[in-house]
Amino acid sequence: MLYLAALLVHCVPLAMGQYDICKSWVTTDDGPSWEFYACQPKAMRMKDYVTVRVDPAGITCGDPPERFCTHENPYLCSDECDASNPDLAHPPKLMFDSEDEGLATYWQSVTWRRYPEPLLANITLSWNKSIELTDDIVITFEYGRPTIMMLEKSLDNGRTWHPYQYYADDCMEAFSMPARRVRDLSTTSANRVLCTEEYSRWAGSKKEKTVRFEVRDRFAIFAGPDLKNMDNLYTRLESAKGLKDFFTVTDLRMRLLRPALGGTYVQRENLYKYFYAVSNIEVTGRCKCNLHANLCTFKEGSLQCECEHNTTGQDCGKCKKNFRSRSWRAGSYLPLPNGSPNACAAAGSAFGNCECYGHSNRCSYIDFLNVVTCVSCKHNTRGQHCQHCRLGFYRNSSAELDDENVCIECNCNQIGSMHDRCNETGYCECREGATGPKCDDCLPNYYWRQGCFPNVCDDELLLCQNGGTCYQNQRCICPVGFKGVLCQQSRCEVDKKDCDGAPGARGSLAALALGMLALQLPGWVDL
Ligand SMILES: *[C@@H]1O[C@H](CO)[C@@H](O)[C@H](O)[C@H]1NC(C)=O
Ligand SMILES: *[C@@H]1O[C@H](CO)[C@@H](O)[C@H](O)[C@H]1NC(C)=O
Ligand SMILES: *[C@@H]1O[C@H](CO)[C@@H](O)[C@H](O)[C@H]1NC(C)=O
Ligand SMILES: *[C@@H]1O[C@H](CO)[C@@H](O)[C@H](O)[C@H]1NC(C)=O
Ligand SMILES: *[C@@H]1O[C@H](CO)[C@@H](O)[C@H](O)[C@H]1NC(C)=O
Ligand SMILES: [Ca+2]
């Protein structure tokens, strides 16, 4: 821990010192003014701002109180965990307190009394803010490190999770992955997710207590072992988006999958020595402010960037209102030494009064109309200020004019609608018989078949007659001897050849024949 603290106070601010300020007062030929730089907040101890959740319910020891022992003293099971006694309780918050000299405070799980059912626990850390890791994540286990565990991360406040690193005493057995070391990674594989055996082997529970996620070793691939060549790292982070995202998290989750065994086998007769105990989780990082802030403050329970450069949002991820004449961009570390701010610009600062709501960063003067107009509006917008939606799109009422999602595609059904345009609420104009916002449904008494057509038959008004059945409202299937749209015509009346031989007898014979048919064919019995 000492090592980490030193790193925090000295190395990080020194290495990144040139980004401590966002602006300086300079004098130019036009008089004094502010000069703006890219900037970012200092790295912080992120455990001070975290919310923690431990799963499943009932995994924390002490409710009901229970005894446990240690691998060093497996038959002296006199230690007790009791949630109702502050001196004997081990709640999750003890993973984030400051340790007094020598005396570790820790969260502890129940013991593995349900063996062989696995002893599983999830520890989830949430910041409700994007954070860029600047140093190793260090998890300290009292009484031995897990023999199998996994680190996961989320970039979207816990909606989706991704593996970050696998840890096992035998990677092949636990995860079917070969064991690798971060130190062996190369520039092209610096963001590889791997399985390591370095932090899971048994070495006595007092000796090896920490499990690391090695951020520094990965940085060192670009910046050299002492992280001296930070420019090179920044260049890489800037050009390779995947790399930057790799070190960015909103949440972390430790999935503890098997506790320390203290040997090769689980001793079934003494399961009280198997459990998890975590005394500290150190996460060092800075708020992600897209190089538009040098301060990040804890307000109303969440970290927030104090945005400069006329940007706004939790991560300074967009331009302030009225500063949207060009698209938002993250600040840039480059060119050095101070980085370009890529500040948001006020409407009117570039070209007369041409606001393009961030959908274009180019304006052009049209001589004969004497107007300035936005060029090549993006995001399906159009118009002098990119303030309208292109044909075939409509305005998203829950989005502001400068939102990328401001125009929604009409998506009119090609067959059911007159054209691909829609009104302001997304309704398309339907052809006869079609209905629904997108014209992909039919009105009552119409059926869909490459468009809507009026019903030929139905079960109410347009009944098939003489025992015919209505097929999908499209046509009547007529029994032998009848035809016509609704089977209303007897074939005899139309074509005498259809009738049976002798004149006079034909009516009764036909009826007889039909009657027999009806008996044979189910469905026609109500003839
Ligand atoms: C831990 O989290 C993972 C998802 O990240 C989930 O699949 C698993 O069921 C959780 N385990 C427990 C014990 O809650
Ligand atoms: C997360 O942060 C946002 C922005 O600061 C805030 O509005 C929201 O209430 C926070 N959510 C939680 C669960 O703290
Ligand atoms: C932000 O807007 C203010 C007010 O127009 C202006 O004084 C300031 O220079 C702008 N900042 C940047 C970085 O452009
Ligand atoms: C409308 O805009 C909001 C805000 O940007 C966005 O969340 C939503 O997805 C948009 N709706 C559609 C249908 O694109
Ligand atoms: C769009 O069309 C639908 C259906 O014709 C109608 O209900 C709605 O009021 C129209 N919306 C506008 C803004 O005209
Ligand atoms: Ca502690």
Q: Which of 389, 417, 423 to mutate to test the pocket of ligand 5 (most atoms within 8 A of CB)?
A: 423
Which carries the bigger pLDDT value, residue 164 or residue 348? 164
Q: Is the pLDDT of residue 1 over 50?
A: no
Report the distance separating Cα 441 and Cα 425, nearest Å: 18
Ligand approaching nearest to the C-alpha of 307: 3
SS3 76: coil
Angle among Cα 373, 377, 383 to the nearest 5 degrees reads 50
Give the confidence band of 366 by pLDDT, cuts at 50, 70, 90.
Answer: confident
Instruction: Find the residues whose C-beta lies inside 6 A of ligand 4.
Output: 396, 398-399, 403, 405, 408
Block residue for tokens 């001897």:
481
Report the distance separating Cα 518 and Cα 527, nearest Å: 7
Ligand approaching nearest to the C-alpha of 395: 4
Report the distance separating Cα 119 and Cα 166, nearest Å: 17
- Give phi and psi for 105, each to the nearest 5: -110, 140
Q: Is the pLDDT of residue 468 over 60?
A: yes
Q: Which residues contact 118 (CB under 8 A, 6 or more apart)?
A: 257, 258
| pLDDT at 513 (0 to 100) | 43
Instruction: Find the residues whose C-beta lies inside 6 A of ligand 5.
Output: 423-425, 427
Cis bond leading into 13, ω under 30°? Answer: no
Residue 484: name the closest of 461, 463, 505 by CA. Answer: 463
Q: How far is ligand 3, taken at its centre, from the CA of residue 306, in Å?
A: 15
Q: Is the CB of 253 under 6 A from ligand 1?
A: yes
Report the distance separating Cα 163 and Cα 224, nearest Å: 26
Q: By alpha-carbon position, which residue is closest to atom 3 of ligand 3?
A: 310
| pLDDT at 524 (0 to 100) | 38
Mean of the per-residue pLDDT values for the chain?
85
Q: Is the CB of 343 under 6 A from ligand 3?
A: yes
Q: Which helix (H) or strand (E) holds 174?
A: helix 171-175
Q: How far is ligand 2, taken at its centre, from the CA of residue 17, in Å?
A: 30
Q: How far is ligand 6, taken at its centre, from the CA of residue 437, in Å?
A: 58
Ligand 6 ion: residues within 5 Å (CB): 94, 97, 105, 279
**Which atom of ligand 2 lies closest to the CA of 51?**
14
First to last CA, the chain: 92
| pLDDT at 488 (0 to 100) | 92
Report the distance separating Cα 207 and Cα 3, nearest Å: 17
**Which atom of ligand 5 lies closest to the CA of 424?**
13
% pLDDT > 90, the chain? 58
Q: Is the pLDDT of residue 469 over 60?
A: yes
Q: Is the CB of 153 under 6 A from ligand 1?
A: no
Report the distance separating Cα 108 and Cα 84, nearest Å: 14
| pLDDT at 229 (0 to 100) | 86
Q: CB of 136 within 8 A of CB of 205?
A: no
Cβ-based neighbour number of residue 82 at 10 Å? 17
| pLDDT at 85 (0 to 100) | 95
pLDDT tens, 477-520? Answer: 999 999 999 999 988 776 666 555 434 434 444 444 444 444 44
Tokens of 203: 């070495």
Ligand approaching nearest to the C-alpha of 404: 4
| pLDDT at 240 (0 to 100) | 82
**Which atom of ligand 2 lies closest to the CA of 299?**
5
**Which atom of ligand 2 lies closest to the CA of 304?**
5
Report the distance separating Cα 52 and Cα 46, nearest Å: 12
Which carries the bigger pLDDT value, residue 421 or residue 28? 421
Report the distance separating Cα 462 and Cα 471, nearest Å: 12
- Give phi and psi for 15, each to the nearest 5: -60, -35
Helices 215-223 and 230-239 pack at an angle, to 10 degrees, of 100
Angstrom CA distances, 332 to 13, 86, 446, stand at 18, 50, 60
Report the distance separating Cα 172 and Cα 194, nearest Å: 12
Which carries the bigger pLDDT value, residue 155 or residue 500? 155
Strand bridging mode 31-36 / 137-141: unpaired
Give the confidence band of 334 by pLDDT, cuts at 50, 70, 90.
Answer: confident
Residue 512: name the closest of 485, 486, 481, 488 by CA. Answer: 481
Report the distance separating Cα 284 and Cα 115, nearest Å: 36
pLDDT tens, 108-123? Answer: 999 999 999 999 999 9
pLDDT tens, 375-394? Answer: 899 999 998 889 899 999 99
**Which atom of ligand 5 lies closest to the CA of 437?**
4
pLDDT tens, 404-449? Answer: 899 999 999 999 999 999 999 999 999 999 999 999 999 999 999 8
Q: Is the pLDDT of residue 13 over 60?
A: no
Q: Is the pLDDT of residue 72 over 90?
A: no
Q: Is the CB of 161 under 6 A from ligand 1?
A: yes
Ligand approaching nearest to the C-alpha of 296: 2
pLDDT tens, 75-100? Answer: 788 889 999 999 999 999 999 998 77
Q: How far is ligand 4, taken at its centre, from the CA of residue 160, in Å?
A: 20
Ligand approaching nearest to the C-alpha of 251: 1
Q: Which of 251, 300, 315, 318 to mutate to test the pocket of ligand 2 (most atoms within 8 A of CB)?
A: 300
